[in-house]
Structure 1
Amino acid sequence: MSGQYPPQQINPRANQNSGSKVVLIVLSCVGGGLALICGCGILLGLLLPAVQAAREAARRMSCSNNIKQIGLAMHNYHSTYDSLPPAYTVDANGRPLHSWRTLLLPFIEQRALYEQIDLSKPWDDPVNLPIAQMVIPTYQCPSTVNDPSYTTYVAIVNPNGVMTGPIPTRFRDITDGLSNTIMVTEADSDLAVPWMSPTDIDLQAFLDSGSARNQGGHLGGAHSLFSDGAVKFITDSADLSLREQLINKADDSLGNAGY
Structure 2
Amino acid sequence: MFRYALRKRGFTLVELLVVIAIIGVLIALLLPAVQQAREAARRMQCTNNLKQIGIAMHNFHDTYSKMVPMSHEDYGNEDTHGNWGWAVDLMPFLELGNTYDQLNPSYGNPQNNYWPYNNSSPRNILHDAVTDANLLSIMQQQVDAFVCPSTAGPELNESKPIPYSSGSGNIYLARADYLVCNDADHIDRQDCDGSFVWTRYDSTLTFAGITDGLSNTLFVGERCYTLGGELIGSGVVYGHAGNNDGPGSGATTTGFFYVAGGGLLPINSTTGASNGHRQGFASNHPGGANFLLGDGSVRFLAETIDHNTDDAANSTYENLIQRNDGQSLGSF
Query: Which range moved further: 148-157 or 55-64?
Result: 148-157
1:88-107 correspondence runs (5 A): 88-91=71-74, 97-107=83-93
Question: In the alignment, which residue of structure 2 is the partner of 1:211?
Answer: 269
Q: Secondary structure at the match of 1:88?
A: coil
Q: 1:68 touches 1:225 (CA, 8 Å); kept in 2?
A: yes
Structure 1: how far apart are the matches of 2:74 and 2:46? 33
* Percent of residue pairs bearing the same amino acid type: 34
Q: Secondary structure at the match of 2:59?
A: helix
Q: 2:195 touches 2:210 (CA, 8 Å); kept in 1?
A: yes
Alignment counterpart, residue 84 of structure 1, candidates 54, 62, 67: 67
Alignment counterpart, residue 304 of structure 2, candidates 214, 231, 237: 237
Query: Which range moved further: 189-198 or 103-112?
Result: 189-198
Residue 155, structure 1, aligned to residue 160, structure 2? no
Deviations 1:7-31 (A, max 9, x none): x9x9xxxx9xx8xx969x44x4433
Deviations 1:100-123 (A, max 9, x none): 001100000010110011412125
Matched to 2:318, the amino acid is E
Residue 114, structure 1, aligned to residue 100, structure 2? yes
Deviations 1:201-225 (A, max 9, x none): 44245x3322349x86211111111
Structure with more of its chain in helix, by fraction: 1
Structure 1: how far apart are the matches of 2:261 and 2:53? 20
Q: 1:221 touches 1:233 (CA, 8 Å); kept in 2?
A: yes
Q: 1:187 touches 1:209 (CA, 8 Å); kept in 2?
A: no
Q: Secondary structure at the match of 1:185?
A: strand
Alignment counterpart, residue 295 of structure 2, candidates 228, 235, 243: 228
Question: In the alignment, which residue of structure 2 is the partner of 1:129?
Answer: 136
Q: Secondary structure at the match of 1:233?
A: strand
Q: 2:75 touches 2:82 (CA, 8 Å); kept in 1?
A: no
Question: In the alignment, which residue of structure 2 is the partner of 1:5?
Answer: none
Unpaired stretches in structure 2, ≥5 consecutive residues: 107-124, 156-173, 184-191, 226-231, 241-257, 272-281, 308-314
- Structure 1 216/157 Cα, relative in aligned 2: closer, same or farther at 3 Å? closer
- The structure whose Rg is larger is 1
Residue 251, structure 1, aligned to residue 325, structure 2? yes
- Structure 1 129/208 Cα, relative in aligned 2: closer, same or farther at 3 Å? farther
Matched to 1:163, the amino acid is F
Q: 1:60 touches 1:218 (CA, 8 Å); kept in 2?
A: yes
Query: What is the CA distance between 1:132 and its match in structure 2?
Result: 1.8
Query: What is the CA distance between 1:194 and its match in structure 2?
Result: 1.9
**How many residue pairs end up in the alignment?**
239
- Structure 1 91/131 Cα, relative in aligned 2: closer, same or farther at 3 Å? farther
Question: In the alignment, which residue of structure 2 is the partner of 1:74?
Answer: 57
If the length of structure 1 is used for normalisation, what is the TM-score?
A: 0.83
- Structure 1 187/169 Cα, relative in aligned 2: closer, same or farther at 3 Å? same
Query: What is the CA distance between 1:33 and its match in structure 2?
Result: 2.2
Query: Which range moved further: 72-81 or 152-161?
Result: 152-161
Question: In the alignment, which residue of structure 2 is the partner of 1:200?
Answer: 259
Q: 1:132 touches 1:194 (CA, 8 Å); kept in 2?
A: no
Structure 2: how far apart are the matches of 1:137 and 1:33? 47
